[in-house]
Amino acid sequence: MNKLLVLLFVTILFSCQSNQEELTSASEIDLSDFAEEEEVSSDNSESTIERKLIKNGKLEFETQDLSKTSKGIKENLKRLKGYISKESDYNNDYRQSKSMTLRIPAKSFDSFIESLDDYIEDFDSKIIEIRDVTADFIDNQARLKNKRLTEEKYLSLLSKASSVQDILAIEKELGAIRGDIESVEGLLKLMENKISYSSLDLSFYKVNKEESTFIYKIKKSLSGGWDNLLSFIVYVFNLWPFALLGIAIFWGIRKFRKKS
């Protein structure tokens, strides 16, 4: 009987040890598989990050027909769903020029610049700048998420507050947090706008060929000299009250000396 009990005890002990080893092995496999899945998920998230780029440009060129070029630019801009944020004209004796600040959908930025080949032969200057703001954008998104979580915590505390002092203190912190949230949201919207729409400063001009010749400059100088002479004569006539006053003073002094 004793031998039977001992045999039974050894069998149970051996069975428990085997089950424990199986559980341990299974646990190790599950953990390793989970760790691997986490790592793969992390790699996938990094590979799918969309780059946030702000593209701007500045172009200057000469054209033979200012109005035709302006019309063509506006038609292309409308076709690409862009718009003009600023426009101005400058004219003098030697050239006519126009400046525009354009907002163009980022995906159509290069297409628009290529379309300018229909109006120009070459650029006087061409500056294209691309700025990567991915890190700043993601950082601000994380800040916004944390601010909102903090806001939720304060709201939870506010619902449990019982004293006026606690309520006022929590509402003060909530006001500061909500101010931060609005600030970060505004910054993100501004960045999204700059990312979605590229900015392009255009300056184009037409040289007045006749006005740049030597003979025209001589004519212009003679005309300007005559205008200046007429202006001087008019200016002198405007001084007649002072002339009369001077004559009267001179006559008075002279008469006073004669009496002396």
Going by pLDDT thresholds of 50, 70 and 90, the confidence category of residue 213 is: low
Going by pLDDT thresholds of 50, 70 and 90, the confidence category of residue 59 is: very high
pLDDT for the residue 107: 94
The full DSSP string for the chain is -HHHHHHHHHHHHHHHHHHHHHHHHHHHHHHHHHHHHHHHHHHHHHHTPPP-EEEEEEEEEE-S-HHHHHHHHHHHHHHTT-EEEEEEEEE-SSEEEEEEEEEEEGGGHHHHHHHGGGT-S-EEEEEEEEEE-HHHHHHHHHHHHHHHHHHHHHHHHHHH--SHHHHHHHHHHHHHHHHHHHHHHHHHHHHHHHHHEEEEEEEEEEE-TGGGSHHHHHHHHHHHHHHHHHHHHHHHHTTHHHHHHHHHHHHHHHHHHHH-
Report whether pLDDT(45) > 80: no
pLDDT for the residue 116: 87
Going by pLDDT thresholds of 50, 70 and 90, the confidence category of residue 219 is: low
Q: What's the predicted TM-score (pTM) here?
A: 0.58
Report whether pLDDT(195) > 80: yes
Report whether pLDDT(131) > 80: yes
pLDDT for the residue 214: 56
Q: Which residue has the higher pLDDT, 25 or 56?
A: 56
Report whether pLDDT(32) > 50: no
Question: Would you say the C-alpha torsion 9, 12, 14, 17 has a positive or negative sign?
Answer: negative
pLDDT for the residue 13: 46
- The mean pLDDT of the chain is 78
Q: Which residue has the higher pLDDT, 100 or 219?
A: 100
